[in-house]
């Protein structure tokens, strides 16, 4: 069985391969055009030791069959839409329901399992494109999506999402990488420190879709405005008791569309720090609650709360909540959003 690193094959008649970006500081990132997924991300610790800090798998078969969102671009609409329903310009749309009673991450066959077209590749940039036809997974409009990965010499992984449509639609893209700053498969993230640049968070209903209510973090377990050890909060009944965090925060911004700091994760033993920036209004923090002894790269075991996701996004269920930032994209408009993961040590 070939490793992803050696991969040159076709899936559904489209070529699939792995592309490595690298900078002058020795940082590298491996990305496959299957699901636009980050497969490896090699960064140094405070002693100059390099390690892989994202969870994934060694073979394409595992990438396809196991944890389907590891490292992926999720769409057409990331996160949950309540009951898989929304109304746009007076037309009712029904999406596939694939997460309890809700539609999650674009439906049954989201962008995470599409073979993207490679438009260009260089030492520090990879440009991927996807055509999503009208009616796919119930969404209206022919959508053309571009995802550009850029690895800078400042140890930033920049992700640039662009899209256009020929019919009014909704869109919300995110990257779903699972991070462990000690190294993927090297234990829990409960000892990581988390900081979130948010004064407010969005409230879940009983189905785990957003209710539309926005509450202040002040005086609640959702207040991560100062660095907080995850272990101190992750089991609180305000989250999913006994499981962990899977919630959206409203990022502090001076104006909509600003590239703003969203949050930071720090791991004290390695000294690795990951700062997250985005033009999008929300940050979903997920503490890897549903992983269950998954065999990952190099045979390492990925278990519950062994990773953290910082998913920059539009607000979940926003197609159904008028006072949320709008996810609507119309002909003649351009969807244009950024996510930046910046790595350093201290």
- Cα-trace Rg, the chain: 19
DSSP H helices, the chain, are 60-65
Annotated ligand binding at 177? The verdict is yes
Annotated ligand binding at 52? The verdict is no
Active-site option among 62, 67, 136, 311: 311
What 3-state DSSP class applies to 320?
helix
- From 162, 172, 203, 156, select the one nearest 76 (Cα to Cα): 172
Annotated ligand binding at 318? The verdict is no
Q: How many helices (H) and strands (E) does the chain have?
A: 1, 29
Tell me the sheet residues that pair with 344: 273
Active-site option among 105, 137, 176, 267: 176
Is 311 an active-site residue? Answer: yes
Is 236 an active-site residue? Answer: no
Annotated ligand binding at 178? The verdict is yes
Is omega for the bond preceding 76 within 30 degrees of 0, making it cis?
yes
Annotated ligand binding at 190? The verdict is no
Tell me the sheet residues that pair with 271: none
Strands 125-132 and 117-121: antiparallel
Binding positions are 79-80, 176-178, 246
Binding positions for beta-D-galactose are 79-80, 176-178, 246
Which active-site residues does the annotation give? 176, 311
């Amino acid at each position: 069985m070939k490793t992803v690193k050696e991969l040159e094959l076709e899936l559904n008649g489209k070529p699939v391969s792995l592309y490595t970006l690298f900078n002058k500081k020795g940082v590298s990132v491996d990305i496959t055009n299957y699901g636009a997924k980050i497969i490896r991300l090699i960064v140094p610790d405070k002693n100059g030791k390099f390690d892989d800090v994202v969870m994934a798998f060694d073979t394409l078969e595992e990438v396809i069959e196991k944890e389907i969102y590891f490292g992926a671009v999720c769409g057409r609409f990331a996160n949950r839409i309540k009951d898989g329903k929304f109304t746009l310009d007076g037309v009712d749309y029904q999406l596939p329901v694939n997460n309890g009673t809700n539609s999650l991450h674009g439906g049954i066959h989201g962008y995470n399992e599409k073979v993207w077209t490679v438009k260009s590749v260089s030492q520090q940039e990879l440009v991927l494109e996807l055509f999503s036809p009208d009616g796919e997974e119930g969404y209206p409009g022919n959508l053309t999506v571009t995802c550009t990965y850029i690895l800078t010499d400042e140890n930033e992984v920049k992700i640039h999402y662009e899209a256009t449509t020929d019919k009014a639609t909704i869109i919300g893209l995110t990257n779903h990488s699972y991070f462990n700053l000690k190294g993927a498969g090297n234990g829990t993230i409960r000892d990581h420190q988390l900081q979130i640049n948010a004064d407010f968070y969005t409230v879940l209903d009983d189905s785990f879709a957003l209710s539309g209510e926005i509450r202040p973090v002040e005086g609640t377990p959702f207040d991560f405005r100062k660095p907080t050890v995850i272990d101190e909060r992750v089991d609180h009944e305000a989250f999913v008791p006994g499981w962990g965090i899977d919630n959206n925060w409203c990022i502090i911004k001076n104006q909509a569309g600003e590239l703003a700091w969203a949050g930071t994760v720090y791991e004290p033993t390695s000294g690795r720090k990951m700062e997250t920036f985005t033009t999008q209004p929300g940050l979903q923090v997920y503490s890897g609650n549903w992983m269950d002894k998954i065999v990952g790269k190099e045979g390492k075991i990925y278990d519950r709360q062994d990773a953290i996701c910082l998913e920059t996004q539009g607000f979940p269920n926003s197609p159904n909540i008028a006072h949320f930032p709008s996810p609507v994209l119309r002909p003649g408009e351009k969807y244009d959003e950024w996510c930046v993961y910046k790595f350093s040590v201290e």
